[in-house]
Amino acid sequence: MKKGLVIIPTYNEAVNIKKIINQILSLPNRLEILVVDDNSPDGTGNIVEKLARANKRIHLVRRPSKMGLGTAYVLGFGYAIEHGYDFAFEMDADFSHNPDDLPRFIELLDEYDLIVGSRYVDGVSVVNWPMKRLLLSFLACLFARIVTGIPVKDLTSGFKCYSNKALGSVNWKNFKVDGYGFQIQSVFCICKTGLRIKEIPIIFVERRQGESKMSKRIIWEAFWLVWKLRAKSILRRKCS
């Protein structure tokens, strides 16, 4: 059985973290979990630390402050490469991504290097979003796809599975973006290496509990990044 890691960045996810960890560990794939906690004031890190002491499949990295999703995944990808995992997931802690979908990604790893859990590949599969937010997300993905030329319908998806080959194909430490921008750049870079990418439909459900971490800064950062990636593509420069 291949060795897989689920990377979960956290900030104030105490109400969700134990439940989602237990659900992932209950799957037949024997996945391991790395939680990257940004010194959550609500004690998320303490909950994970207690769970990790009782189960060797749970790992925790504590960071001193809120440093963002992008750097959390860069850290997690480095951890996956260093410890010899065959593949790694990125997913949220808030159940907007269903842990029961993880085996569907794994089944495709023999054929593809990056599997994207897509809200838009088969119509629109989003639950409990107001129309304004849904339109913003859908149009942002359409805009990013047109400008970058990357044939992926959900470029801002945060539910992905990377093969070890995909992880090793990108210089993650050169990434200087967060949130949506990180998601767009990660797919762009892997696509430019010529590796195989597959979108599969998921149902995205707005978080059950807790607060969204999205901000206007992250949205504008992604907007300008898309044009930078376009320019790099035209000039045939390395994506990162």
pLDDT in tens, 93-108: 999 999 999 999 999 9
Looking up tokens 């913003």 gives: 136
Contact call for residues 124 and 138 (beta carbons, < 8 A): yes
- Mean pLDDT for 105-131 is 94
Residue 181 — very low, low, confident or very high, per pLDDT cuts 50/70/90? confident
Domain boundaries, the chain: 4-235
- The backbone region for 117, taken as left when phi is positive above 0, alpha when psi lies in -120 to 50, beta otherwise, is beta
CATH number for 4-235: choose from 3.30.9.10, 3.40.50.150, 3.90.550.10, 3.40.630.30: 3.90.550.10
**Chain mean pLDDT for the chain:** 89
- SS3 (DSSP) at 191: helix
Lowest mean pLDDT among 60-69, 170-179, 197-206: 170-179
**Is the model's pLDDT at 117 over the cut of 70?**
yes
Q: Where are the beta strands (DSSP E) in the chain?
A: 4-10, 32-37, 58-62, 87-90, 114-118, 126-127, 160-163, 197-201, 204-205
pLDDT confidence bin for 78, thresholds 50/70/90: very high
